[in-house]
Amino acid sequence: MQRSFMLAAALTVLLFLFPWLWAAPEASGEAPPQTEEEQAETVTVHDSARTLKVLIGGEVTEMDMETYLRGVVRAEMPASFEEEALKAQAVAARTYTLYKMEGGGSANHPEADACDDVNCCKAYKSQEDAAADWGMSSALYEEKIRRAVADTDGEVVLYEGHPVLAVFHSSSAGATRNVEDVWQQALPYLRSVASPENADAVPNYYSKAAFTLTEFKELFIAQYPTANLSGTPSNWFSNIHQDVNGAVESLQVGGITVTGGQLRSLLGLRSANFTISFTDDTVEFSVTGYGHGVGMSQYGANVLAQEGKTYREILTYYYTGTTVEVYDK
């Protein structure tokens, strides 16, 4: 009797001192078992669990989102950029891809979720091709790219719960542009915001493109045959509408109204932010920035990262009214 009492007392003391002896498994740090449905939900948010069909060099290749995004970040942003800028780029590319997929994909390639044509989807560069370009820095740069994608795994820019049209461009001329001034449809999250990059931060921030009057005339009339390009060249251009930062919204050339973007494409200008000047036999375009000017500025993102901003701060700055979250659809 005495002995069993002693034993019981000893056991009680043991259990009191070492509660883990009787604790349930979940209290010891192990997660409770999940149903199959819960497991599926948990894993689909990871890049490694999303499979994409990507048209590369004309052939459809299957890869996971992680592999695809590394290829896009290698191709779309200098790997020498700040880590937070590279992360912002990875999230923007993930967001853009999911936006396209949710919208039913591209009519250009119904057989693939994305392609490597910059005029359709995003550029893509393999590890081998990037290493050849990067030379001595390739191990360092590849590791930066890997981290930019892995550290933002599954994260997406959302507006009202959906991935946004996360377009980006190289550099702005003081501010990004309202989307409806460049393309047709207005979107609440693609609004003009000030962008901090300038000629100190951006190579070829200011550029020039000169054409002989004959060259210009031939190029323009090939595209717009009814244009009247006779008389004094300085009279060829009229009604030039620019926004407050100098981006050309529209102008008349030889009596034909075109957008700044249309003239930019035709002449291969780096942006639609330009002024026009003449010499005896040339017309010269002085251009600021590079790209369409909508959404995130990549050089702007790098300047913000140098100032200590995080990738989330950079993304929510350039995509107005958005949040950055793990997307579970």
Residues that bind Zn ion (CB under 5 A): 106, 115, 120-121
Residue 209 burial by CB count (10 A; 0-12/13-18/19+): exposed, middle or buried? middle
The CB-of-265 to Zn ion minimum distance in angstroms stands at 18
Closest to 311 in 3D by CA, of 153, 127, 140? 153
Phi, psi at residue 282, to the nearest 5°? Answer: -130, 155
Say if residue 164 is exposed, middle or buried (CB neighbours under 10 Å; 0-12, 13-18, 19+): buried
* Shortest distance in whole angstroms from residue 61 CB to Zn ion: 13
Q: In this complex, which beta carbon is closest to Zn ion, that of residue 82 or of residue 116?
A: 116
Q: How far is the CB of 136 from Zn ion (least distance, A)?
A: 33
Q: How far is the CB of 93 from Zn ion (least distance, A)?
A: 13
Q: How far is the CB of 110 from Zn ion (least distance, A)?
A: 11
Of 117 and 151, which has the nearer Cβ to Zn ion?
Answer: 117
Can you say how many angstroms the Cα of residue 116 is from the centroid of all Cα atoms in its chain?
14
- Separation of alpha carbons 190 and 182, rounded Å: 11
Question: What is the four-CA torsion angle of 131, 135, 139, 144, rounded to 10 degrees?
Answer: -80
User: Which CB, 105 or 174, lies closer to Zn ion?
Assistant: 105
- 89 phi/psi in degrees, rounded to 5: -65, -40
CB of 126 to Zn ion, least distance (A): 17
Give the Å distances, CA to CA, from 8 to 13, 20, 23: 9, 18, 19
What Rg, from alpha-carbon coordinates, does the chain have?
28
User: Judged by CB, which is closer to Zn ion: 120, or 209?
Assistant: 120
Q: Which residue, 121 or 173, has its beta carbon nearer to Zn ion?
A: 121
Nearer to Zn ion, 111 or 200 (CB): 111
